[in-house]
Amino acid sequence: MSDMSPTDPRWLTLIGIGEDGPEGLGDEAKRLIAAAPAVFGGVRHHDLADALISGERFTWQSPFEKSVEAILARRGTPVVVLASGDPFLYGVGATLSRHVAAEEIYTIPAPSAFSLAASRLGWPLQETACVSLHGRPLDLIRPHLHPGRRILALTSDGKGPQTLAELLAANGFADTRLTVLEALGGKRERIRSTTAGNFDLVDIDPLNVCALDVIAGSGARILPYVCGLDDDLFEHDGQITKREIRAVTLSALAPRHGELLWDIGAGSGSVGIEWMLADPSLRAIAIEQSPQRAARIARNAAGFGVPQLALVEGVAPAAVAGLPAPDAIFIGGGGSEAGVMDAAIAALKPAGRLVANAVTLEMEAVLLAEQAARGGSLTKIEIARAAPVGGMSGWRPAMPVTQWHWIKE
């Protein structure tokens, strides 16, 4: 702060500013901006606060890390950072807080774009999904597309709403009501509505939020909130952990906040994808030796709204060398190859979970030996499905699966 005392450690001030510029700022925020010897922000932020700034202006650099370094170089001297709305909601505050302790930061937030949009629409925020697609893949919207769901989505530019409408229409949500809220809080504010399938809005302001009142048509691609999604939702060549087995496998892997999964021999990527769908904080690395299957995993990840699934194309154990240590490992293929199991066990964090499935006698022998040597539990999973037998029906058993579940001490 500009008038910081010798005992006040807060040298970095984050100020949220809206499209109404100084009119929307309180007296304290105005005073701090005017007194600051250094003001960081985007070109738009500097333009909005132009009348208040008397110190040196620093515009965000690319890559952004350069600006972070410039701010940190001024540690201990007053620095003001201008941000859009709430700096800690998909904003610069989240980035800077990874480098600067909370005790060194003073924040004056403004209403976020989500808050402004909700107030215009009369939507309770606690009942609304808020998704940032700013500089991020549009596919992230997919897990939220459920009938009756209300979604606020922050886009990157004026083309974002139409691209989002095209994604909705292509996935069976053409009747979804799509409201585009532009330049909220300023003189250029404008609100227009249409449907995804008949999107006809033009000249959209780059600063916009899309509000979706989701309506699902027949055959819409809806991703249920469960483990063990329908196999037909995935693109695969038969190399897929079937839905019932997958549900049991995810239960054994027991995902927890912020954890990393290795999916060795990923096939279609179904286990890693469902792991990531369980919570936005979860991460997964799919290891797959087939180039065709690796490409298929990437398509599946995008189609399920988890495009951030990491993909390593190669043969284990060499392919896992140097990867971040996992909290959990699933071995669905290739586990009987020399060195794979040893490499997985060595890499697993203490208290990490390892789940391995076997359908071949060779892999089953490996699991039996590992269980005898290390402990853990063995489970035989057998599934049968009703199928026509002549003019009647009977049970057709799938290949039984032996599952080893082990927790590293």
Q: Mean of the pLDDT values across residues 223-246?
A: 94
Whether 177 has a pLDDT exceeding 70, the answer reads yes
The reported pLDDT for the residue numbered 3 is 52
- Fold that domain 12-110 belongs to in CATH: Cobalt-precorrin-4 Transmethylase; domain 1 (3.40.1010)
Tell me: the pLDDT tens digits for 155-176?
999 999 999 999 999 999 999 9
Q: Mean of the pLDDT values across residues 246-272?
A: 97
Location of structure tokens 């005017």: 34
d(CA 142, CA 38): 41
Whether 255 has a pLDDT exceeding 50, the answer reads yes
- Fold that domain 114-213 belongs to in CATH: 3.30.950
Q: Where in the chain is the domain with CATH 3.30.950.10?
A: 114-213
pLDDT category of residue 110 using cuts at 50, 70 and 90 = very high
Provide the residue type at 35 as one letter: A
The reported pLDDT for the residue numbered 335 is 78
8 A C-beta contact, residue 249 and residue 403:
yes
Q: Where in the chain is the domain with CATH 3.40.50.150?
A: 231-407
The reported pLDDT for the residue numbered 2 is 45
CB count in 10 Å sphere of residue 82: 26
Provide the residue type at 408 as one letter: K
Whether 322 has a pLDDT exceeding 50, the answer reads yes
Q: Where in the chain is the domain with CATH 3.40.1010.10?
A: 12-110
The reported pLDDT for the residue numbered 347 is 97
DSSP secondary structure letter of residue 11: -
The reported pLDDT for the residue numbered 338 is 85
Location of structure tokens 């909130």: 225
Tell me: the pLDDT tens digits for 38-93?
999 999 999 999 999 999 999 999 999 999 999 999 999 999 999 999 999 999 99
Query: 231-407 belongs to which homologous superfamily?
Result: Vaccinia Virus protein VP39 (3.40.50.150)
The percent of residues above 90 in pLDDT, for the chain, comes to 96
Tokens matching residue 190: 């404008």
> What separation, in Å, do the N-terminal and C-terminal C-alpha atoms of the chain show?
48
Tell me: the pLDDT tens digits for 366-376?
999 999 999 99
Tell me: the pLDDT tens digits for 187-202?
999 999 999 999 999 9
CA distances from 9 to 2, 5, 58, 316 (A): 12, 8, 22, 50
8 A C-beta contact, residue 403 and residue 248:
yes
DSSP secondary structure letter of residue 334: S
pLDDT category of residue 317 using cuts at 50, 70 and 90 = very high
8 A C-beta contact, residue 177 and residue 144:
no
How does the average pLDDT of the chain come out, rounded? 95
pLDDT category of residue 336 using cuts at 50, 70 and 90 = confident
Tell me: the pLDDT tens digits for 387-396?
999 899 999 9
Whether 7 has a pLDDT exceeding 80, the answer reads no
The percent of residues above 70 in pLDDT, for the chain, comes to 99
